[in-house]
């Protein structure tokens, strides 16, 4: 079966698939979208124009959650979902909390990085939402080494790239340590960075971010 992933490590949603690929020991090449993200050329393949998207023998599968589910259900390697139904639901719930309450606020803040075009009202609203999201995640996450139980799951693939940006974005807007009042998340973040599969992807994200900031 021929698979390839459209994306780049700068996106946390691509990064979570990259962690999954690494943790499962899969050999799936990661390529740039033809014409770039959002281009007409890429939209001919993937109408959303967004990344990630998985090419499965010519069929394009968009959306990171769908890609995660497909890879988990069709590919060999380490399972990243518990066999117990309730534990499995917990992994999904924790991932959703991170995506909905942290990821969406981060996405809005990315558009406010330029001080010349920044809306103070949007920044304040999204920073408040982000801190509430961190508090919600703190209430359900284990303090490490992994988010749910003692082994890596799809929740870790989702959460680690988001925390990479949380710990960088808030200080850029003049905030302090975003995890200061979230002891479980802080301990988890310290621990998950030591996982080899996660560390490699976070390093790629750091390199990509540095290149973007350098212009």
34-45 residue pLDDT tens = 999 999 999 999
Strand order from edge to edge, sheet including 3-6: 30-31, 3-6, 53-56, 59-62
The fraction of the chain above a pLDDT of 90, given in percent, is: 87
Match domain 3-74 to its CATH number in 3.40.30.10, 3.40.50.300, 2.40.10.120, 3.30.420.40: 3.40.30.10
Rounded CA separation 105/175 (Å): 15
Assess contact for 80 and 23: CB atoms under 8 A. yes
169 — pLDDT class (breaks 50, 70, 90): confident
* Domain ranges across the chain: 3-74, 85-214
Average pLDDT over residues 121-139: 96
| pLDDT exceeds cutoff 70 at 122 | yes
For residue 61, give the 3-state DSSP assignment. Answer: strand
Domain 85-214 falls under CATH 3.30.565.10: no
| pLDDT exceeds cutoff 70 at 1 | no
Average pLDDT over residues 65-75: 97
What residue ranges in 59-210 does DSSP mark as E strands?
59-62
């Amino acid at each position: 079966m021929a698979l390839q992933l459209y994306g780049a490590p700068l996106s946390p949603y691509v990064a979570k698939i990259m962690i999954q690929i690494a943790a499962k020991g899969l050999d799936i090449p990661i390529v740039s979208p033809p014409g770039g993200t959002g281009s007409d050329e890429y939209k001919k393949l993937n109408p959303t124009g967004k990344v990630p998207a998985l090419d499965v023998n010519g069929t394009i599968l968009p959306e990171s959650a769908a890609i995660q589910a497909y890879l988990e259900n069709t590919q060999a390697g380490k399972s990243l979902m518990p066999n117990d139904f309730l534990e499995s639901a917990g992994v999904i719930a924790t991932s959703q909390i991170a995506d909905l309450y942290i990821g969406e606020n981060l996405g809005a803040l990315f558009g406010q990085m330029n001080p010349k075009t920044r809306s103070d009202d949007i920044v304040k609203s999204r920073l408040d939402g982000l801190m509430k999201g961190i508090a919600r995640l703190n209430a359900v996450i284990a303090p490490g080494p992994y988010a749910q139980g003692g082994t890596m799951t799809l929740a870790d693939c989702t959460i680690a790239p988001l925390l990479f940006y949380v710990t960088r974005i808030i200080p850029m807007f003049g905030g302090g340590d975003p995890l200061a009042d979230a002891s479980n998340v802080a301990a988890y973040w310290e621990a998950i960075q030591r996982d080899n599969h996660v560390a490699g992807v976070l390093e790629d994200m750091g390199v990509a971010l540095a290149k973007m900031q350098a212009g």
